[in-house]
Amino acid sequence: MSELFERLQPYLDRGMAIKAALTLFDWDNETLAPACASEKTAKIMGNLSGEYYRATINDEVRDLLAQLSTPEEKEKLSDTEKAIVKKMNKEYEQLEKIPANEYQAFRELLTKSAQIWAKAKENNDFSAFAPTLNEIVDYQKRFAEYTKKPGMSLYDTMLDQNEEGILEKDLDPFFEKIRTAVVPLLKKVMERNDKIDKSYNNRCYPIDVQKKFCRFLAEYIGFDFEKGVMAESAHPFTTNMHNSDVRITNHFYEKNLESAMFSVIHEGGHALYEMGVADELTLTAVGGGTSMGVHESQSRFYENILGRSEAFWKPLFGKLKETYPEQLADVEQNDFILGINKAEPGPIRTEADELTYPLHIMVRYEIEKLLISGKIKVDDLPQIWNEKYKEYLGVTPKNDKEGVLQDVHWSGGSFGYFPSYAIGNAVAAQIYAFMHKKVKVAECLETGNLEPIRKYLCKHIHQYGSTKNMNELLIGMTGESLNVDYYIDYLTKKYTKLYHIEE
């Protein structure tokens, strides 16, 4: 037992508790808090962020971390403790360089900005959001400037915070490969698209019935309602206090069957990750999922690779038809499988199919690079957004509401985050290619027993929390680091087969 680590423990516990409180406030703001609360609650959250800063950034913590990082002290630590020290060192280095008052002011700005963005989006008025976004970009650029490592660009610094070690030099070829494969494939798909009729999706599906079916789906994939809750919010998301309190939200549309169904499978995938973290790790600094990329790999694995497969719906399609006997009377299982996989370019990322999805991410990646490097300004965003959508997806958003204002991320200060979605898709495909050799995935799905799949993911990914980064997990599981070829292969095979495209 390390005496030094024991002295560090109270600081860790304090930081953990304050973080959990901030998580709960975020959840509450999105799901329940009354309309007029936000301004005063922002003050509370700003103070809590300051408190987190004080609990984490102080002379004693710095000294303890420095001593714990020496070889002789490191030796006394368990693997978990080593991972905690490593994680804290990283966080310390980043936070230490950001002045406390700037950090707190930024957090306060963020709580307000969510509402400003929401209102601007509602009113389709980018100019109402632009000044706030400008402030956010300024803060984030300044923070990246403070913490930037040698040889990294500002945007690299943001990328590295989201996915350790995955920088522009990795993502440029990553997206280039995707573009080269997906754009021509999409063209062929589009030529055959008129054969797919998914008009069933926009019939009337009563919301209370949808809610019941979504709850069933959550349980079906393994979401444990003793350790989690489900609520509603404007946009579905997942959050957690610890591995026994994991929360997902959904949003229901009466005239959209698929939206809430695939959202609950997606968020359920995130939730299973957090529920699967080892008890030893939860409530520690390494107790959550390791990165957004790996998190998205889990949600997308469930949503797309499993949830949109024929095998998944084999034991479920009958139940779905029983649930909506009139709405789905004329829909056969095969029509449904084609429908839920129909690829068609559109302006909205969250409504995108599996094939066009990475193109939406590519647009954001390229725009963020330009914005953070200063090549474009916030005011240029609407125009460049629309140009890139035209170029890669062949569509022009009707207005900023379905264009540059569509995503919440930037209002939350998240830059360098969007690539995680595409990384997640690629990781999911890589895991899937390998898992096949160890688990009879199709059999599990066809018999409605998803436990072996969940256990396999828990064993190789979930349980580790963030003691390993993405590439460490991938190497441990598949023998190689991130390789986008699996993703391209998966998309090509799936869509070639689905659309009967000759290769």
Active site residues: 267
Residue nearer to a copy of itself on the CB measure, 207 or 229: 229
- The interface with a copy of itself within residues 446-465 (CB under 8 A) comprises none
Per-residue contact string for residues 218-237; x = within reach of a copy of itself by CB under 8 A: -------xxxxx-x------
- Hey, how many other C-beta atoms are within 10 angstroms of the C-beta on 422? 26
User: How do 238-242 and 245-250 pair as beta strands?
Assistant: antiparallel
- Hey, how many other C-beta atoms are within 10 angstroms of the C-beta on 427? 33
Determine the residue type at 309.
Answer: S
The answer to whether residues 322 and 292 touch, using CB atoms and an 8 Å cutoff, is no
Residue nearer to a copy of itself on the CB measure, 14 or 319: 14
Residue nearer to a copy of itself on the CB measure, 242 or 364: 242
Residue nearer to a copy of itself on the CB measure, 35 or 329: 35
Per-residue contact string for residues 280-319; x = within reach of a copy of itself by CB under 8 A: --xx------------------------------------
- The answer to whether 437 contacts a copy of itself (rule: CB under 8 A) is no
Q: How far is the CB of 229 from a copy of itself (least distance, A)?
A: 5
Q: Which segment (12-20, 291-299, 348-356, 462-470) binds a copy of itself by CB under 8 A?
A: 12-20
Instruction: Report the distance separating Cα 21 and Cα 24, nearest Å.
Output: 5
Q: Is 231 helix (H, G, I), strand (E, B) or coil?
A: strand
Per-residue contact string for residues 14-53; x = within reach of a copy of itself by CB under 8 A: x-xxx-xx--xx--x---xxxxxx-xxx-xxxxxx-xx--
Q: How far is the CB of 462 from a copy of itself (least distance, A)?
A: 17
Q: How far is the CB of 134 from a copy of itself (least distance, A)?
A: 27
- Alpha-carbon distance values, 204 to 198, 207, 254, 257, 319 (Å): 14, 9, 6, 8, 18
Q: How far is the CB of 194 from a copy of itself (least distance, A)?
A: 45
Instruction: Report the distance separating Cα 113 and Cα 134, nearest Å.
Output: 11
Q: Which segment (239-247, 350-358, 422-430, 436-444) binds a copy of itself by CB under 8 A?
A: 239-247
Q: Which segment (212-220, 240-248, 377-385, 405-413) binds a copy of itself by CB under 8 A?
A: 240-248
Nearest CA-CA partner of 298 in 263, 267, 342: 267
Length of the chain: 503
Beta bridge partners of 246: 228, 240
Size of the site for a copy of itself (CB under 8 A): 41
- The interface with a copy of itself within residues 245-264 (CB under 8 A) comprises 245
Q: How far is the CB of 70 from a copy of itself (least distance, A)?
A: 28
Beta bridge partners of 436: none
The pair of three-digit structure tokens given for residue 227, joined into one six-digit string:
């350790």
Instruction: Report the distance separating Cα 270 and Cα 88, nearest Å.
Output: 24
The answer to whether residues 316 and 187 touch, using CB atoms and an 8 Å cutoff, is no
Residue nearer to a copy of itself on the CB measure, 279 or 379: 279
Q: How far is the CB of 238 from a copy of itself (least distance, A)?
A: 14
**Residues of 358-380 as b/e, b for ≥16 C-beta within 10 angstroms?**
bbbbbbbbbbbbbbbeeeeebee
Residue 6, CA atoms < 13 Å, CB-side half-sphere: 4
Residue nearer to a copy of itself on the CB measure, 55 or 340: 55
Residue nearer to a copy of itself on the CB measure, 225 or 253: 225
- The interface with a copy of itself within residues 48-87 (CB under 8 A) comprises 48, 50-51, 55
Instruction: Report the distance separating Cα 264 and Cα 218, nearest Å.
Output: 6
Long-range contacts of 285-289 (CB under 8 A, 24+ apart): 285/12, 285/15, 285/16, 285/84, 285/87, 285/88, 285/91, 286/80, 286/83, 286/84, 286/87, 286/465, 286/466, 286/467, 287/16, 287/242, 287/243, 287/465, 287/466, 288/240, 288/465, 288/466, 289/465, 289/466
Q: How far is the CB of 17 from a copy of itself (least distance, A)?
A: 3
Q: How far is the CB of 185 from a copy of itself (least distance, A)?
A: 43
Residue nearer to a copy of itself on the CB measure, 24 or 442: 24
Residue nearer to a copy of itself on the CB measure, 44 or 370: 44
Q: How far is the CB of 23 from a copy of itself (least distance, A)?
A: 10
Residue 239 phi, psi dihedral angles, 5° rounding: -150, 170
Chain residues binding a copy of itself by CB under 8 A are: 13-14, 16-18, 20-21, 24-25, 28, 32-37, 39-41, 43-48, 50-51, 55, 225-229, 231, 241-245, 282-283
